[in-house]
Amino acid sequence: MTRFQELSREFSAYFNQKHFPDQPASLYDAASYMLEDGGKRVRPVLCLLGNELFEPIREDSWKIATALELFHNFTLIHDDIMDKAPLRRGKPTTHAKYNESTALLAGDVMLVKAYEYLNETDPIYSRALIRLFNETGREVCEGQQLDMDYEKKAFISLERYMQMIELKTAVLLAGSLQMGAIVAGAGETDQQHIYDFGKNLGLAFQVQDDWLDSFGNPSTFGKLKGGDILANKKTFLLLYALENGRAVEKKVILELMQSSEPEKVNRMIEIFLNSGVDLAAQMAKRAYMEKALSHLESISVPDQKKEPLRELSEYLLEREI
């Protein structure tokens, strides 16, 4: 088992506690519902690993990890409302199971609860933690807004897409790592390096996620092949093809996006292959990955301490591309 997996298991046990009062049950049942079944708990574990890179994990890092997981779930509940998503991880979303108003409030109260955990950490660093948490929170909201804005546009540049991904998902991974480093008393330069490691890891992960939709093995990936294509979702692949493909390919892509023919997914994947998108995604992912690892390299701790974070990068990123 990797250190990531160990900590993921330990954190899940720690997190499996009562975070809210009993009453009003109509509010707190809805808030707890989302937390029950939890995914990989990536953000909290990043915080713990960010601490452990420098020194043994302190009690406070568990509190911060909890705050980060609550924050992440707050964004999921609100995003699901905005996207009108009926399911998440195979279960009805909070607003589908309860109702939109209750889900909205459950998200709000979860964000407040995250601050409660943060505010109980050592005053030596709680201000710095809350400051980073605030900045990250604001950026995640900005990313979600940009995502919605871009959905309505016919085209956006690949550069803007990656900027949106940076805000919507990468900064929270980066911030989680940095918060662990702050608890450990890491210097500013090291903090910046671990942040940039996390940010680039997040960007690499998104490119991979986009790639897997078209080229992954559905049984390993766990999602319907071509789901993004069917939904006309703007992904690295689609935007790269529109930005760099030949005129004739672009024309076919735009036509396919209007259609719902049964061969839509296969035809789109074929164009992606022909226009070099597959290779471009692999290269982009590798570039982000190398950038991430060079920041990890620069952190001033003995090399062997970095093994769990290298291992994590591989675990997250070396599965298929």
* Contacts with a copy of itself, residue ranges (CB under 8 A): 23-24, 26-27, 78, 81-82, 100-102, 104-105, 107-109, 111-113, 115-116, 119, 123, 126-127, 130-131, 134, 137-138, 141-142, 144-146, 148-149
Q: In angstroms, what is the minimal distance from the CB of 145 to a copy of itself?
A: 4
Q: Indicate the length of the chain as a whole number.
A: 321
44 with 177: CB under 8 angstroms? no
- What is the C-alpha to C-alpha distance for residues 11 and 3, in angstroms, rounded to an integer? 12
Query: Which CB, 100 or 261, lies closer to a copy of itself?
Result: 100
Query: Which CB, 6 or 116, lies closer to a copy of itself?
Result: 116
Query: Which CB, 168 or 199, lies closer to a copy of itself?
Result: 168
Q: In angstroms, what is the minimal distance from the CB of 160 to a copy of itself?
A: 11
Q: In angstroms, what is the minimal distance from the CB of 74 to a copy of itself?
A: 8
Query: Which CB, 153 or 219, lies closer to a copy of itself?
Result: 153
Q: ∠230-161-150 over CA atoms, to 5°?
A: 65
Query: Which CB, 24 or 86, lies closer to a copy of itself?
Result: 24
Q: In angstroms, what is the minimal distance from the CB of 314 to a copy of itself?
A: 34
92 SS3 class: strand
Q: In angstroms, what is the minimal distance from the CB of 206 to a copy of itself?
A: 19
- What is the C-alpha to C-alpha distance for residues 40 and 292, in angstroms, rounded to an integer? 21
Query: Could you tell me the maximum CA-CA distance found in the chain, to the nearest angstrom?
Result: 61
- What DSSP string describes 132-151? HHHHHHHHHHHHHHHHHHHH
- What DSSP string describes 178-242? HHHHHHTT--HHHHHHHHHHHHHHHHHHHHHHHHHHHHS-HHHH-S-TTHHHHTT---HHHHHHH
